[in-house]
Amino acid sequence: MDFFDPHIHIASRTTDELELMAKMGCVVVGEPAFWMGYDRTSPASFYDYYRQLTEWEPKRTAQYGIRHYAWLGLNAKEAENVAFAKEVIPLLPEFLDRPNALGIGEIGLNKNTRNEVATLEMLIELAMKTNEQMLFHTPHLADKYPGTRMILDMLRADSRVDRSRVCIDHLEEHTIRLALDEGYWAGITLYPTTKATPERAADMVEIYGPERILVNSSADWGPSNPTAVPNFILVMRRRGHPESVIRKVVYDNPLEFFNQSRHFEFVPAE
Amino acid sequence: MTIKTKALEVLDREFLSLRCKIVEVAAALDRIARAGGECDDPRIDQVRRSLELVAQPREAADRAEQVQLLFSLPYDPQWRQPRV
């Protein structure tokens, strides 16, 4: 089955893995800007990273027939230094005009601090001014529940936000209903230990239905699996779900969400 | 003739995996105990409370959600207000 991985950090993955993903049916990837495992020391470092996401990584995936799209943003982990963020955010509009740009992401909260909130407000403001879609990172582990609710509070307070153009990501059992009830796209990340497993993601699809749910590997430089989406497909098949439902989650939904971005022009195969 | 309910079908599918995960939990707790010394840490209390929650009969099939909340920090609806 053809599938999208709507959230994967290709910059951290090898060409062998891209080949394997292509063999398993991956046709489109969405790569959000994120934390590289160490804090960058200057805005120029972000500039080079945005070039990597919009120039180099699309060429690497194209070798295997995978279309590459990117989200540009300042990640929550590096959002604590508001003065630094004020130097990085003005770099974004140039890259939002690149042909593979999907919008602003992944942005959000990490430890739910006031400084992170201040940086996030600047990024949301930029998205509103430039009419971009947004992809939100929700915090890890114990911080996820309060952080997700804070992000939803911020978005609810801004009447300009079109919820059909926003994905709240890394949702789990205690946060997915919050995002779905308010009309957002809901991302579930499939991780070996933290976040959700393919089995629990299938549970959430069974409980809430397949509407507006996306699953992704979020595969990066840590423990993660670039073939997590095919693992989800297998779990769903073993439970007897129809191909149409599985395809909706791994292909139709991300296609519909990405299609709202001004640069997205993927044409599904006949 | 016994007719299998949907729940029994799911139990058949899940039982070995469920058993394996419970043994893994038991073995991990044994490992901590075997290591010796005090382990006065709030995470142990979280684990104990989550196991109690999982073992209790529940009308709503929401154990996973409740366990997640047990391991979560609380949400303060007044988070925008300056802290005193």
- The complex scores an ipTM of 0.92
**DSSP-assigned beta bridge partners for residue A108:** A137
**B6 belongs to a structural domain:** yes
Question: Tokens 């430890």 sit at which residue?
Answer: A111
Domain membership of residue B62 as a residue range: 40-74
What gap in Å lies between CA A55 and CA A192, rounded to an integer?
30
| Integer CA distances (angstroms), A136 to A72, A74, A151, A263, in order | 12, 11, 8, 19
> Is B81 inside a domain boundary?
no
Q: Does the pLDDT value for residue B48 go beyond 70?
A: yes
Do residues B29 and B8 both lie within one domain? yes
Count: domains in chain B: 2
Q: What is the mean pLDDT of each run of 10 residues along chain A (270 residues)?
A: 98 98 98 95 97 98 98 96 98 98 98 98 98 98 98 98 98 98 98 94 98 97 96 97 98 98 89
Average pLDDT over residues B4-20: 93
The verdict on residue B27 lying in a domain is yes
**In-domain check, residue B23:** yes
pLDDT of residue B62: 95
Looking at the structure, tell me whether residues B44 and B34 fall in a common domain.
no
Tell me, yes or no, whether B4 and B23 share the same domain: yes
Is the predicted pLDDT of residue B2 greater than 80, yes or no?
A: no
Tokens of A199: 């089995």
Q: What is the pLDDT of residue A189?
A: 98
B18 and B47, same domain (yes or no): no
- Whether pLDDT at B82 is above 90: no
Residue A91 has what pLDDT? Answer: 98
A143 at interface of B, judged by CB pairs closer than 8 A: yes
A214 touches A249 (CB < 8 A): yes
Same domain? B1 vs B32: yes
In a domain, B84, yes or no: no
B80 domain-assigned? no
Using a CB-CB cut-off of 8 Å, the residues of chain A touching B62 are: 173
Domain shared by B33 and B18, yes or no: yes
CB contact under 8 A, A174 and B79: no
Q: Residue B68 and residue A200: Cβ atoms within 8 Å?
A: no
Is the preceding peptide bond at A106 cis, omega within 30 degrees of 0? yes
Most A CBs within 10 Å, among B46, B58, B69, B75, to test the A interface: B75
- Domain-embedded: residue B49: yes
Residue B30 has pLDDT above 70, yes or no: yes
Per-residue H/E/C for B11-60: HHHHHHHHHHHHHHHHHHHHHHHHCCCCCCCHHHHHHHHHHHHHHCCCCC
Looking at the structure, tell me whether residues B46 and B65 fall in a common domain.
yes
**Same domain assignment for residues B9 and B32:** yes
Whether B3 and B33 map to the same domain: the answer is yes
pLDDT value at residue A17 = 98
For position B52, what pLDDT does the model report?
Answer: 97
Residues B33 and B46 reside in one and the same domain: no
Report the 10 Å Cβ neighbour count for A73.
32
Instruction: State whether B46 and B30 are in the same domain.
Output: no
| Cβ separation A173–B64 shorter than 8 A | yes
Beta bridge partners of A168: A136, A186
pLDDT of residue B84: 61
Q: Is residue B4 part of a domain?
A: yes
Same domain, B3 and B16: yes
Predicted pLDDT of residue A267: 86
